[in-house]
């Protein structure tokens, strides 16, 4: 059970949060101009990394804010949390 440092509320128990999949996938601005393959790439293809992964999380039972997290999936270590729209603090 993680202890997650919500960028708005501070440290809270994982049970207050919900995970929202891979981060930094930008919704295409002009979907109509994409081929089926390009659209499918955005719609379906997600990474499933063993190691450092960038993820979206939502403080769903708290402030309801979405934010990003850098987490190592191999040991669940959270390296950073940062607000939506911000650049990842680590690469």
Partner 1 sequence: MSKNLRITNNRFIDQTSKISFKFDGKTLYGFKGDTLASALLANNIHLVGRSFKYHRPRGIMTCGSEEPNAIVQLGKDPSMTEPNTRATEIELYEGLEASSQNCWPSVNFDIGAINNFFSPLIPAAFYYKTFMWPANFWKLYEYFIRKSAGLGKSPSQPDKDIYDHRYLHCDVLVVGGGISGIMAAKTAAKNNLNTVLMDDKNTLGGTTLFQQNECFKINNSYSNEWIKKEIKTLNSFKNLTIKTRTSLAAYHSYNYLLARENLTDHLDLNEKKDKIRQRLWKIRAKKVIIATGAMERPLIFNNNDRPGIILSSSIKKYIDYYGVKCGKKISLFTNNDSAYETAISLNNSGVSVNSVVDIRDKTNSLIVKQAEKLGIKIHWKSSVVNTNGYKKINSIEIMKLSDDNTATVGKKIIEECDCLGISGGWTPRVHLFTQSGGKLKFRDEDNVFLPDKSELDQISIGSCNGDFELDEVIKNSVKLTNNFLKVNNNDYENLEIISSKEIDKKNIWLLPSDIPLGKTKPFLDFQNDSTANDVKLALREGFKSIEHVKRYTTTGMATDQGKLSNMHALGIIAETAGVKMGELGTTTFRPPYTPLTFGVIVGRNVGEFFDITRKTPMHDWHVDKKAEFENVGQWKRAWYYPIDNENMHEAVQRESKAARDSAGILDASTLGKIDIQGSDVSEFLNRVYTNAWSKLEIGKCRYGLMLNEDGMVYDDGVTTRLSENHYLMTTTTGGAANVLSKLEDYLQTEWPELDVYLTSVTDHYGTVSICGPNSKKILSKVIPDLDLSDKEFPHMSFKNALIDNIKCRVMRISFTGELSYEINIQSSYAKSVWEKCFDAGKKFNITPYGTETMHLLRAEKGFIIAGQDTDGTMTPVDLQMDWIISKKKYDFIGKRSLYRSDTIREDRKQLVGLLTEDPNEILEEGAQIVGKTNKQPTEMLGHVTSSYFSPNLNKSIALAVIRNGKKLKGQKMFVPMKNKTISVTITDTVFLDKENKRLNA
Q: Which residues bind partner 1 (CB under 8 A)?
A: 1-3, 13-14, 20, 27-28, 30-32, 34, 36, 39-40, 43, 56, 58, 60, 64-66, 75-77, 84-85
For CA atoms 62, 64, 70, 76, the dihedral sign is positive
4: phi then psi, degrees, rounded to nearest 5: -110, 130
- Tell the smallest beta-carbon distance from residue 58 to partner 1 (Å): 7
- Tell the smallest beta-carbon distance from residue 14 to partner 1 (Å): 8
Nearer to partner 1, 29 or 47 (CB): 29
Nearer to partner 1, 52 or 65 (CB): 65
Nearer to partner 1, 53 or 60 (CB): 60
């Amino acid at each position: 059970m993680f202890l997650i440092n919500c960028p708005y509320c501070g440290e809270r128990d994982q049970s207050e949060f919900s995970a929202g999949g891979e981060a930094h996938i930008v919704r295409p601005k002009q979907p109509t101009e994409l081929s089926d393959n390009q659209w499918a790439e955005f719609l379906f293809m997600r990474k499933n990394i063993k190691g450092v992964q960038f993820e979206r999380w939502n403080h769903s039972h708290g402030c309801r804010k979405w934010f990003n997290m850098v987490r190592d999936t191999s040991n669940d270590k959270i390296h950073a949390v940062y607000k939506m729209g911000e650049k990842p603090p680590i690469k």
